[in-house]
Amino acid sequence: MQRLSGLDATFLYLETPTQLLHVCGLVLLDPSTIPGGYDYRKLLRELDSRMATMPTFRRKLKDSRLNLDYPVWVDDHDFDIERHCHRTAVPAPGTHAELAELAGHIASQPLDRSRPLWEMWVIEGLADGQIAVMSKIHHSAADGVTGANILAQLCSLEPDSPALVDPTAQGAGDAGTLDIAIGGLMAVIARPARIARLVPGGIAMLPKWVTRARKGEAMPAPFTAPRTSFNGAITGHRNVAFSQLDLAKVKAVKDRHGVKVNDVVLALCAGALRTYLEDRDELPEDSLVAMVPVSVHGKSDRPGTNQISGMFTQLGTQIGDPVERLHAISDYNATSKNHNEALGANILQDWSQFASPAVFGAAMRVYSSLKLAERHPVVSNLVVSNVPGPPVPLYFLGAQIKGMFPLGPIFHGAGLNVTVMSLDGKLDVGIVSCSDLAPELDQLAQGFGAALDELFDAEVTTPAPTAT
């Protein structure tokens, strides 16, 4: 068995019927590149064959009433790929609008916790002849980097490349009720000592934050973001929108203004949001605040699938000039990154180790049912992630990938998630919200292209150092 880390388990406890914590991805495929042509049953057999050596797809949760600690992963000996892979089609006329609507419906459905926590939907009927694949995997089983690595194992650089086999891949194993209970008891016994080691650093964190803030060296504090229409209690309804940008234009803006690609990504998000909110007469006077997940893979020695921390940064949405906004975002990012690094790579993983299953889950259900997110200041306005991908064409089971749009989860009080991924000269933007809070999400997606054109066409008015 493999016991979940505190952070992995926290994503289980945070989940409610309205706050679904799976990570999705929408992939557009060109079926004409598949050797021998596209056939759903053939694709399913190939997928099953490749997953045979990928333990993540074949493990499920197991728990015991006697367990005082987090659940464990065990191998699913009754694994059946047809319980996880489904075939459907978009309604006529089969445009990307119908695809986005269907993707939102799929994203609104919870995963079955009695089985391995993932699903895949093969979507046919698109007017342009493409095929879409909508994947879902629970955040307890994969963070952004892990999810990208899992998908990479299903992809290749050539349409007819054989499956990649990892000889070191090991399954989760098995566990009985007593094994789970004894392991959980030992972990709980050791918990007070771990708390004692963390408390002094935790107590010192607040005054250090205040000191940095006085020097202008701190990222925005939680609960300081202005409220917008998508910063309320979310329902279980999801809507999805996506956009595809020219990565060369993004890099040209980066080089011209001496900033980083991530700065440009956040500036595009800020520009699109500013237009979206202005059109609704609800642009706040203060800057929107984004929570940006930060991968600590290779930096953290803590166990668990989720290897992430998070930083808060301002988006400069109160600044009208796009170039001035871009440079302000670059400065905000540098400050937030330095502050986040000072906090340490393990802070989120360490403190999540003390999330009590009974208390945390019950508290989240009460928080959700009473809509408390609408009664306290906004923690952050949205989540923005940037996932780098390969600069070359990729093939998913023989079909060339024409677009890969990551779709992250949303939370009570922060009902908007924007995730971008670079692939083969394109920057793919995936957007998820709650349809009851942001019903016209496609308008926000269209704003990304306009924001890029605005920055690309803008003159460089001040010299800027070259980013490394």
Identify the weakest region by mean pLDDT among 21-35, 215-229, 446-460.
215-229
Q: pLDDT, tens digit, for every residue of 152-208?
A: 788 888 888 776 656 666 788 888 887 888 877 777 776 655 655 655 555 555 666
The model's pTM is 0.90
Burial degree of 160 (CB within 10 A; 0-12, 13-18, 19+): exposed
Identify the weakest region by mean pLDDT among 104-118, 135-149, 341-355, 362-376.
341-355
Query: String of b and e for 355-388 (b: at least 16 CB within 10 Å)?
Result: bebeebbeebeebbeeeebeeeebbbbbbbbbbe
pLDDT of residue 399 exceeding 80: yes
Q: pLDDT, tens digit, for every residue of 415-425?
A: 999 999 999 99
User: What's residue 149's pLDDT?
Assistant: 76
Relative to beta strand 131-138, strand 2-3 is unpaired
- Whole-angstrom Cα distance, residue 322 to residue 329? 10
The stretch 443-463 carries a mean pLDDT of: 88
Q: Of the candidates 114, 117, 120, which has an alpha carbon nearest to the alpha carbon of residue 154?
A: 120
User: What's residue 466's pLDDT?
Assistant: 45
What DSSP state is assigned to residue 225? B
The stretch 1-16 carries a mean pLDDT of: 89
The stretch 197-220 carries a mean pLDDT of: 64
The stretch 404-411 carries a mean pLDDT of: 95
Sequence-distant (6+) residues with CB within 8 A of 331 are: none
What's the Rg (C-alpha) of the chain?
A: 22
Q: pLDDT, tens digit, for every residue of 291-324?
A: 999 877 777 667 677 777 789 999 999 999 999 9
| Model confidence band, residue 364 (pLDDT cutoffs 50, 70, 90) | confident
Return the active site residues. 139
User: What's residue 305's pLDDT?
Assistant: 78
Q: pLDDT, tens digit, for every residue of 323-353?
A: 999 999 999 999 998 887 777 656 666 656 6
User: What's residue 356's pLDDT?
Assistant: 65
